[in-house]
Structure 1
Amino acid sequence: MPTRADAGDSGVLVLAATPIGRVSDAPPRLSEELATADVIAAEDTRRLKRLTTDLGVTIAGRVVSYFEGNESGRTPQLLEWLLAGERVLLVTDAGMPSVSDPGYRLVAACVEAGVHVTAVPGPSAVLTALAVSGLPVDRFCFEGFLPRKSGERSRRLASLAAEERTMVFFEAPHRTLVALEAMRDAFGPGRPAAVCRELTKTHEEVRRGGLGELVEWAGEGIRGEITIVVQGEEVGAASVASDPDSLRAAVAELEAEGVTRKDAIVEVAKAAGLPKREVYDVVHKSESK
């Protein structure tokens, strides 16, 4: 690995946030950096061309692709240019590089080699969704995309069941329903959440409610870019006693609040630390008497 001492004064890596929706949201400094960078590393060069056209910017530097498929191989070349004193601008399709997008490997390599790294702050789907969700923002964590395989997805969410911070997830529209279903099963149908769709775009929509309610809404079909925000476990949340009378009363209380019986049983079972079937049997056996 070359070092700063090997190459004399190094250049600068600039991580530039790009609009997540409206081009007019682009920070003014973005246009300046695009016009003056020696090298622009873009996740999608075609999107870069559309962006610069919309911004009225003429690129003078070299443009190279930098995406998940070539990130490992391209990083050494970009680092070599940086060590030679060039200014490299890294842009992804939308939002801030390194946040569920290419960038981490290059930043880590620059830090190790002593190359200066800075950023053009700007649009972020994570912070935008968190801010508009209406959920607690004093402490939060970003969990990115959930695993695609159901077993891995369930295990990941089970590990977050006791997480007290508000959680932010990215999800593809065609997997949003199964993701919400898995969250409902892991966190309970009454856990407050928000599904943020097409943030800052013309058809922006923020749907808020319990996870059980959001599952029903998502069953109608979802399109667009999706960010999901889920409230963390409440500190000192009350558990439910496991005797039959307490279980029946807890289910009835949730039903009175508008929660479906199925979701109420799931939530009570989770709070009591019991299998769903056991709570189901307690509730329905009492009705059959």
Structure 2
Amino acid sequence: MSDSSTTNFTNPSTFILLGIPGLEASHVWISIPFCTMYIIAILGNFTILFIVRRECSLHEPMYYFLCMLAVTDMVLSTSIVPKMLSIFWTKTREINFNACLTQMFFLHCSSAMESGIFIAMALDRYVAICHPLRHSTILTNPVVAKIGLAVLLRGAMLALPCPLLARQWPYCRTNIIPEPYCSHIAVVKLACADIRVSSYYGLFVLFCVLGLDGIFIALSYTQILRAIFKLPTKDARLKTFGTCGSHICAILAFYVPGLFISLANRFGQNMPLHFQVLISNLYRLMPPMLNPIIYGVRTKQIHNRLLRLFAQKGT
């Protein structure tokens, strides 16, 4: 293993994932919360899919988008956690070069898709609150399907250049990645070439996902808030705003840490590496775990169906 990290090579057959550098002795203990978060994410998102599929009254655009978010969250967490746990538990740190690029694609595609789904959900809330009488005619099932396809294609198109760019660089210094998964910036930093194209493209994706998407969501909620404040009574305003509460919480859980991590990866040279990696991992795992909890607790329809499901099993 040591030879592979020091010998000159043009294209490594494998990369070495270090997990969380500096905290190797604590990997087993760190794996416990990570594994717990992954199990909660899988079970929670699967429960959302099960409830929406079973309840015909939930066959509406808002819940279709929620199902898309659940599937995306399961893909996102599954693309990184199994390999991460194998590093923590069995010290299996090698990952095939092509497998690394594949993981990179699904990681960044899922992240871009999640942002796109939040835009779709913001659009749904905008139409439902600002144009309630036209909601069913604007967001028909074919339109929702087209929005879902557009979100998928956009995520794939934004993510695909990442592994393609990473593949073309020569790697002649080391094949050791100081993370438990293959992110774009972590891989291309190992190249012994001018990687400004990859760096600029990473900033472009960051601008699209956290910048343009965030601006669109902010504009949508500006219009939503204007419509809410025009309602005649305080109870009506609170009830209408409550329908957006779960969406706002999920957005904040995704965008705020994402912006912090992205800036820290590029400009946080003085930040301890193990802290950067640990926080980055938590950011990847927190939204898939929190989203089903947020929507399950704050969305009355799903909350009631979930309680009814457990009551039926109890009897």
Which band: TM-score by shorter chain? under 0.3
Relative to its length, the structure with more helix (as a share) is 2
| Larger Rg, first or second structure (1 or 2) | 1
Q: Which has the higher contact order (CA 8 A, sep 6+)?
A: 2
TM-score between the two structures when normalised by the length of structure 1: 0.20
